[in-house]
Chains A and B, each alone.
Chain A
Amino acid sequence: GNSVTQMEGPVTLSEEAFLTINCTYTATGYPSLFWYVQYPGEGLQLLLKATKADDKGSNKGFEATYRKETTSFHLEKGSVQVSDSAVYFCALRDNAGNMLTFGGGTRLMVKP
């Protein structure tokens, strides 16, 4: 079956530091890949997505590149802000298009 593995948190950074959150996946075929963000007490919001190999998704300074050869979709941001503190979820949707599979989530804490 499909699975998503992401690095355990919490990840604690100082403001303006570089962020990487690792995500690897297992799936048949060519799934679409997503990063969602969850702020405290809220639902999940789509942050970015990539639908085929070598695509780069980007939004609000965050980027992730779909790497088929390493089955990875690592999230990066060059300079984090306190407002980026949240939980980040990596997810995939398979070729059948019916189900989302989520990673366990990574909590990011950014200190001033």
Chain B
Amino acid sequence: DGGITQSPKYLFRKEGQNVTLSCEQNLNHDAMYWYRQDPGQGLRLIYYSQIVNDFQKGDIAEGYSVSREKKESFPLTVTSAQKNPTAFYLCASSPRGRENTEAFFGQGTRLTVV
């Protein structure tokens, strides 16, 4: 089955550590996105990539980094510079340049700083 997979579902990080969240898709989508969701809040865009080896900052990119070496993969690293990383992280993908198509979401990773 085609889809988008995030792992792990739950992740715990000690203060001062970097941690990487995985996002893989087998939908052959060009565009991929990372969103952050805080309790009771909407989605805020962290980074997005419309093509391999290219990505752009979203609204809240500080303290995060990404790479896009393969079309299928768009990992997000939460660095120690991110002061409040505890949140629910959602990855999504979509075809590029087709405005009538939806984005597909993974099941999310809940990151907790301990």
Binding site for B on A (CB under 8 A): 31-32, 34, 36, 41-46, 49, 51, 89, 93-100, 102-105, 107
Q: Which residues of A contact B103 (CB under 8 A)?
A: 93, 100
Beta-carbon contact of A99 and B98 below 8 Å: no
Q: Which of A31, A42, A89 contacts B43 (CB 8 A)?
A: A89
Q: Which residues of A contact B92 (CB under 8 A)?
A: 44, 100
Per-position binary interface string of chain B over residues 29-60, scored 1 when its CB falls under 8 Å from any chain A CB and 0 otherwise: 00101000000111100001010000000000
Q: Does B85 contact A (CB under 8 A)?
A: no
Beta-carbon contact of A98 and B90 below 8 Å: no
Q: Which residues of B42-95 are within 8 A (CB) of A? A: 42-43, 48, 50, 90, 92, 94-95
Instruction: Kindly report which residue of chain B lies nearest to residue A42, judged by CB atoms.
Output: B107
Binding site for A on B (CB under 8 A): 6, 31, 33, 40-43, 48, 50, 90, 92, 94-108, 110
Total A-B residue pairs with C-beta atoms closer than 8 Å? 63
Q: Which residues of A contact B90 (CB under 8 A)?
A: 43-44
Question: CA separation between A41 and B31, bound complex, in Å?
Answer: 24
Q: Which residues of A contact B50 (CB under 8 A)?
A: 98
Beta-carbon contact of A97 and B42 below 8 Å: no
Tell me how far the C-beta of B36 lies from the nearest C-beta in chain A, rounded to whole angstroms: 12
Instruction: Kindly report which residue of chain A lies nearest to residue B9, judged by CB atoms.
Output: A41
Beta-carbon contact of B105 and A45 below 8 Å: yes
Q: Which residues of A contact B98 (CB under 8 A)?
A: 97
Beta-carbon contact of A102 and B43 below 8 Å: yes
Q: Which residues of A contact B100 (CB under 8 A)?
A: 32, 49, 51, 93, 97
